[in-house]
């Protein structure tokens, strides 16, 4: 059992304490009297890292000796959060460390707070990658994550006068105790230059790329500890560094100082994470970032393969599967072709056969603005040989299209990798579908829409290639570690196996009507709400009542996620309370956490509006504490870990068809929150699991959205026919919320009226308002609510990322697990 496994690998409290003191002395050069919490944190990490590295060594050796097939997860983002608590938890050393530190007069919880988040991602896609590598290690699957060692992760958000200000994130300023630099595995990556065509004596054409610049990729390894501690896999992140070759012409001309300036450019590649999610920026540096980490990773994969198999490429596709986390690493496809054809001198068909048996692609979005396209001219400048290869792939693909749909030029234009127009563009999604053996969406409805709307012809051409793997989350971080009190209660009720086998939570369902268990469950929720209330008071000075409903919307700020729908409804409640002081509602605290892309004007305006409405509502005695609004700054993994256990109501209110899956929805429901949500993404599957009585669904379906759009949606119909909508939108235009600055909030009204309301906020408003009345009534019935909350936790088994990984293994990766002896 997992409990047994956990104790076997443990060292005891005495040894752990010794290790912490030893590191305090000899790693940090301080002692018990002088050490502050930061030093204790580092010493504790170092003590832990001894155990971790032992596991890493054993795992790598076992995988090598068994010559295992492995998955290589390529992702431009890994949103890891903090690692100490997770590693202690997964090694079964959490209590040991807690006890050891206590004897040293130190609180583990204070020490854990010292760790900066590793925020090398924007949101869902990056956090999914982090959950997946946790599951891969837990399930003892041979796997490696590849990404970028950004010097600065996602910006730190401050709120000044209600508005978002971005500050640089410097997660490594005082060193990262987990990462190990591996200079022995440095790779080189070429950029720019030109292609030379050479004719061999056998008539064979050979292409030679003469790069204009070469940069180095320095790998940093982060050990990934599986639950139970046996398998420790690696996350390998590439840092760019100048090689002597960068801009060699300047250097040769004696321009020593100028060459140093070029060095700065090389090192810019891994400098900062692009903070846009779901909007394609088309920036040259971003394409370079993508190529940089894809090329380093491929070369690393090939080096490892060759160590075992030499120059025999025939088994490459048996040993290697590469999962592309969206199209960000899709350039790996032509890169592998280049290596096989130009370098290894394989013929095109053999090379293509290898490629199309190695790559698989996950699509995370249908939003047109998030589908990556690069100007062919930019490609030609940065990666001239790759553009040629893409043209060749496309040429051969067009022949296939012609066979399937003879003489159909419209079809060819639709399916081509190259989009013709004013400016020729390379469509990375098409390249990914054509170059992969499997393509998946991330929830049932999303995968259906990928097949029906995004890639219907590809689905016809290659039936079965497009499939679904519903997302998941790791229950180790998102229940066991972040909600220890609920975890202990669950352990007592059903045993402690559930973190490895989440379907076991079903065992809670039969206690859902038990009054004593309901009380215990809600007591834990209350305590978690108190802890969050304390945090809100301490960080923002706002008093919130823990008897109020904690209603939470946490996710990136985007129009399609409709934080402004939530805001309009809050304003409406405020207005109802002002018009009727006895307006009957249970006290509610609306809590937000969201970062906006720095260039996304309306998203930032919505953050500003939430804060301005919050100021007014929170300081208006007339609402009699029935309504509070809190915008918690700098939403990130470690803040999510505090908010999620304290949530009563989970807001999942995207326009149907727009949210590919969502994963916050799963985390909140797992911790006993009731969802108010649309029939979108994984909400649909959550509703199937918990049943209609335990979720509040509202609003238009995908079909209704499409029909309304087709019939000509006019937001003014709602504005003029719904007095509440009109009053609330007009309110935004006054200076009520922004004294002395009339019109400061008007952009929201404009986008909803003149702007055409692209995400149909007004069309769903009434249904949303009614759904909140259902929530209100359900909450007031204490037993009913407790039952709903328990059932939500009990029915989340499907959404463990272990199940997602099992689906990938069976449908796509065809991997076998590999036991590592402890
Ligand atoms: C092109 C570039 C600017 C870009 C960068 C990041 C485009 C998209 C992204 C991030 C997308 C993302 O996080 N998508 C989310 O993926 C989650 C995991 O599959 C889904 O749950 C969520 O619905 C989806 O929005």
> Is 364 among the residues known to form the active site?
yes
DSSP 3-state of 790? helix
pLDDT in tens, 499-545: 999 999 999 999 999 999 999 999 999 999 999 999 999 999 999 99
Output the pLDDT for position 7: 42
How far, in Å, from the CA of 814 to the mean position of ligand 1?
A: 26
- Conformation bin of residue 403: beta by default, left when phi > 0, alpha when psi is -120 to 50: alpha
CB of 623 closer than 8 Å to CB of 589? no
Q: Is 471 in the pocket of ligand 1 (CB under 6 A)?
A: yes
pLDDT confidence bin for 405, thresholds 50/70/90 = very high
ipTM: 0.98
How far, in Å, from the CA of 556 to the mean position of ligand 1?
A: 10
Show the tokens assigned to 428: 């990375």
Mean pLDDT over 471-498 rounds to: 98
> Is 25 among the residues known to form the active site?
no
Distance CA 326, CA 75 (A): 8
Question: Following DSSP, what letter does each residue of 296-316 receive, concatenated?
Answer: HHHHHHHHHHHHHHTT-GGGH
How far, in Å, from the CA of 240 to the mean position of ligand 1?
A: 24
Q: Is 365 in the pocket of ligand 1 (CB under 6 A)?
A: yes
> Is 42 among the residues known to form the active site?
no
Q: Is 367 in the pocket of ligand 1 (CB under 6 A)?
A: no
Question: Following DSSP, what letter does each residue of 701-768 receive, concatenated?
Answer: -HHHHHHHHHT---HHHHHHH-HHHHHHHHHTTSSSSSTT-TTTTHHHHHHHTTT--TT-HHHHHHHH
Going by C-beta distance under 8 Å and a sequence separation of 6 or more, which residues neighbour residue 541? none
How far, in Å, from the CA of 129 to the mean position of ligand 1?
A: 11
By 3-state DSSP, what share of the chain in percent is helix, strand and coil, each rounded to 5?
A: 55, 15, 30
Output the pLDDT for position 6: 46
> Is 492 among the residues known to form the active site?
no
Q: Is 277 in the pocket of ligand 1 (CB under 6 A)?
A: yes
Question: CB burial class (10 A; 0-12, 13-18, 19+) of residue 586?
Answer: middle
Does the pLDDT value for residue 3 go beyond 60? no
Distance CA 778, CA 784 (A): 6
How far, in Å, from the CA of 511 to the mean position of ligand 1?
A: 38
Nearest to residue 195, comparing CAs of 381, 393, 425?
381
pLDDT in tens, 649-688: 999 999 999 999 999 999 999 999 999 999 999 999 999 9
Q: Is 470 in the pocket of ligand 1 (CB under 6 A)?
A: no
Does the pLDDT value for residue 443 go beyond 50? yes
pLDDT in tens, 342-378: 999 999 999 999 999 999 999 999 999 889 999 999 9
CB of 310 closer than 8 Å to CB of 336? no
The best mutation among 120, 660, 677 to test binding of ligand 1, ranked by most ligand atoms within 8 Å of the C-beta, falls on 660
DSSP assigned state of 510 = G
> Is 14 among the residues known to form the active site?
no
> Is 667 among the residues known to form the active site?
yes
Q: Is 661 in the pocket of ligand 1 (CB under 6 A)?
A: yes
The best mutation among 126, 154, 273, 278 to test binding of ligand 1, ranked by most ligand atoms within 8 Å of the C-beta, falls on 278
Output the pLDDT for position 728: 98
- Cα distances from 361 to residues 73, 202, 438, in angstroms, run 10, 37, 6
Q: Is 278 in the pocket of ligand 1 (CB under 6 A)?
A: yes
Q: Which of 465, 555, 595, 604 is catalytic?
A: 555
How far, in Å, from the CA of 276 to the mean position of ligand 1?
A: 10
Mean pLDDT over 779-806 rounds to: 98
For the entire predicted model, the pTM comes to: 0.97
Q: Which of ligand 1's atoms lies nearest the C-alpha of 123? A: 13
The best mutation among 124, 680, 804 to test binding of ligand 1, ranked by most ligand atoms within 8 Å of the C-beta, falls on 124
pLDDT confidence bin for 262, thresholds 50/70/90 = low
Show the tokens assigned to 225: 């500890």
Q: Is 364 in the pocket of ligand 1 (CB under 6 A)?
A: yes
Output the pLDDT for position 65: 95
Residues above pLDDT 90, as percent of the chain? 93
Q: Which of 156, 338, 529, 556 is catalytic?
A: 556
Domains annotated on the chain, with CATH = 475-700+760-796 (3.40.50.2000)
């Amino acid at each position: 059992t997992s409990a047994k496994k956990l104790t076997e690998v443990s060292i005891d409290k005495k040894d752990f304490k010794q290790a912490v003191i030893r590191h305090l002395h000899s790693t940090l050069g301080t002692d018990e009297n002088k050490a502050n919490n930061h030093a204790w944190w580092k010493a504790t990490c170092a003590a832990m890292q001894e155990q971790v590295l032992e596991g890493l060594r054993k795992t790598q050796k076992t995988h090598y000796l068994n010559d295992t097939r492995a998955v290589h997860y390529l992702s431009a983002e890994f949103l890891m959060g903090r690692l100490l608590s997770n590693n202690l938890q997964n090694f079964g050393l959490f209590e040991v460390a807690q006890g050891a530190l206590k004897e040293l007069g130190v609180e583990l919880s204070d020490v854990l707070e010292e760790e900066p988040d590793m925020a090398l991602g924007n949101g869902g896609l990056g956090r999914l990658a982090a959950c997946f590598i946790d599951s891969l290690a837990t399930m003892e699957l041979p796997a490696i994550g590849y990404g970028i060692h950004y010097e600065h992760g996602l910006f730190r958000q401050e709120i000044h006068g209600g508005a978002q200000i971005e500050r640089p994130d410097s997660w490594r300023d005082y060193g990262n105790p987990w990462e190990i630099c591996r200079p022995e595995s440095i790779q080189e990556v070429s950029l720019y230059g030109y292609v030379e065509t050479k004719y061999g004596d056998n008539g064979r054409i050979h292409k030679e790329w003469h790069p204009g610049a070469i940069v180095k990729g320095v790998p940093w390894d982060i050990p990934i500890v599986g639950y139970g501690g046996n398998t420790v896999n690696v996350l390998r992140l590439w840092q760019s560094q100048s090689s002597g070759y960068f801009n060699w012409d300047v250097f040769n001309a004696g321009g020593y100082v100028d060459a140093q300036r070029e060095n700065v450019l090389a090192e810019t590649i891994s400098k900062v994470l692009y903070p846009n999610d779901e909007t394609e920026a088309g920036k040259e540096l971003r394409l370079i970032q993508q190529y940089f980490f894809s090329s380093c990773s491929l070369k690393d994969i090939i080096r490892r393969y060759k160590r075992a198999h030499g120059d025999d490429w025939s088994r490459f596709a048996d040993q290697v599967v590469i999962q592309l986390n969206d199209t960000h690493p899709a350039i790996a496809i032509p890169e592998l072709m280049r290596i096989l054809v130009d370098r290894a001198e394989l013929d095109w068909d053999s090379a293509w056969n290898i490629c199309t048996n190695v790559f698989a692609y996950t699509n995370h979005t249908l939003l047109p603005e998030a589908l990556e396209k690069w100007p062919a001219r930019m490609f030609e400048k940065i990666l001239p040989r790759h553009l040629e290869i893409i043209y060749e792939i496309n040429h051969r693909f067009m022949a296939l299209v012609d066979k399937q749909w003879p003489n159909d030029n419209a079809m060819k234009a639709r399916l081509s990798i190259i989009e013709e127009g004013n400016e020729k563009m390379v469509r990375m999604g098409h390249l990914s579908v054509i170059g992969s053996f499997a393509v998946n969406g991330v929830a049932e409805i999303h995968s259906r829409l990928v097949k029906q709307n995004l890639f219907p012809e590809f689905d016809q051409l290659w039936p079965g290639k497009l499939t679904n793997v519903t997302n998941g989350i790791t229950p180790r971080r998102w229940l066991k570690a972040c909600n220890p009190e609920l975890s202990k209660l669950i352990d007592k009720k059903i045993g402690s196996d559930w973190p490895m086998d989440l379907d076991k939570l079903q065992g809670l369902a039969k206690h859902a009507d038990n009054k004593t268990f309901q009380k215990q469950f809600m007591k834990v929720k209350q305590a978690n709400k108190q802890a969050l209330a304390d945090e809100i008071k301490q960080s923002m000075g706002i008093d919130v009542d823990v008897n109020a409903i904690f209603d939470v919307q946490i996710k990136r700020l985007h129009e399609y996620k409709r934080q402004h729908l939530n805001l309009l409804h809050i304003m409406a409640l405020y207005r109802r309370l002002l018009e009727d002081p006895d307006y009957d509602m249970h006290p509610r605290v609306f809590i937000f956490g969201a970062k906006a892309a720095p260039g996304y004007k309306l998203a930032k305006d919505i953050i500003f509006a939430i804060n301005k409405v919050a100021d007014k509502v929170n300081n208006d005695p007339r609402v009699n504490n029935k309504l509070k609004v809190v915008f918690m700054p700098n939403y990130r993994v470690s803040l999510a870990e505090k908010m999620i256990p304290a949530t009563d109501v989970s807001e999942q209110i995207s326009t149907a068809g727009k949210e590919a899956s969502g994963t916050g929805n799963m985390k909140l429901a797992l911790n006993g929150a009731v969802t108010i949500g649309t029939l979108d993404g994984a909400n649909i599957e959550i509703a199937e699991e918990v049943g209609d009585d335990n979720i509040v669904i509202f609003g238009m379906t995908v079909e209704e959205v499409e029909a309304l759009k087709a019939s000509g949606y006019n937001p003014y119909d709602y504005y003029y026919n719904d007095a509440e909508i009109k009053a609330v939108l007009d309110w935004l235009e006054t200076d009520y919320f922004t004294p002395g600055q009339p019109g400061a909030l008007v952009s929201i009204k404009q986008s909803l009226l003149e702007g055409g309301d692209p995400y149909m906020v007004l069309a769903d408003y009434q249904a949303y308002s009614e759904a909140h009345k259902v929530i209100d009534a359900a909450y007031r019935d204490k037993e009913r609510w407790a039952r709903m909350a328990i059932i939500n936790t009990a029915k989340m088994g499907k959404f463990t990322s272990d199940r997602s990984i099992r689906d990938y293994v069976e449908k796509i990766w065809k991997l076998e697990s590999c036991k590592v002896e402890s």
